A = this chain, B = another copy of it.
């Protein structure tokens, strides 16, 4: 069986999990404490990161490369438009979340609060992340005022990249759902998809999710 080595709140793993589930590809989830750099894990992925997807005896790494490979090999349902401009916009938004949003918000809030890899929460990081998420939510709302989904009128990998980060932040109660109705509507749509169920049932030992985390009426 296919297997995904992952860490429950990792946004990169969540993006791949959503893509797999949407395309109805079954995988066994194996939790990997990647920061311990276990030698057997490093043999599977010398970059030492999650996610790593084992499929037909091969090991695939790098979340965006995995998602594009899934899109190329299992085209239904499509998660990328067919035209070059549409594909560009999906890739640009995935990079926005996986690079800028990750660095400014997810790393500063989720990883700190959960003490991923044994880190000690630093109040300055929490403060900085709590400030920056406002700017990012405003940018998302600006996009969603013009489009049904983040990259256009169809749901794409860009929505999964964003929802992967937002859902991890929501687990630790760091999303202000009152800031923009349009973001709450977008998240309600994506949260109610069957592909989202596995993510809503994640539990981190010693850190219960926010009360509304798995609630479809939040």
Q: What is A's interface to B at a CB cutoff of 8 Å?
A: 46-47, 49, 60-62, 64-66, 68-69, 72-73, 84-85, 87-88, 91-92, 95-96, 99-100, 139
Contacts and interface: CB of A to CB of B under 8 A. Distances in A.
B139 A95 contact: no
B92 A62 contact: yes
Contact of A47 (B49, B84, B87, B100): B100
Nearest to A68: B91
A72 B86 CA distance: 11
B47 A68 contact: no
Contacts of A95: 62, 64-65
A67 to B, nearest CB: 10
A28 to B, nearest CB: 21
A69 B47 contact: no
A87 B69 contact: yes
Nearest to A60: B88
B87 A62 contact: no
B62 A73 contact: no
A149 to B, nearest CB: 17
Contacts of A72: 84, 87-88
A156 B21 CA distance: 31
A68 B69 CA distance: 14
28 contacts: A46-B139, A47-B96, A47-B100, A49-B100, A60-B88, A60-B92, A62-B92, A62-B95, A62-B99, A64-B64, A64-B91, A64-B95, A65-B88, A65-B91, A65-B92, A65-B95, A66-B88, A68-B87, A68-B88, A68-B91, A69-B84, A69-B85, A69-B87, A69-B88, A69-B91, A72-B84, A72-B87, A73-B84
A60 B92 CA distance: 8
Nearest to A85: B69
A185 to B, nearest CB: 22
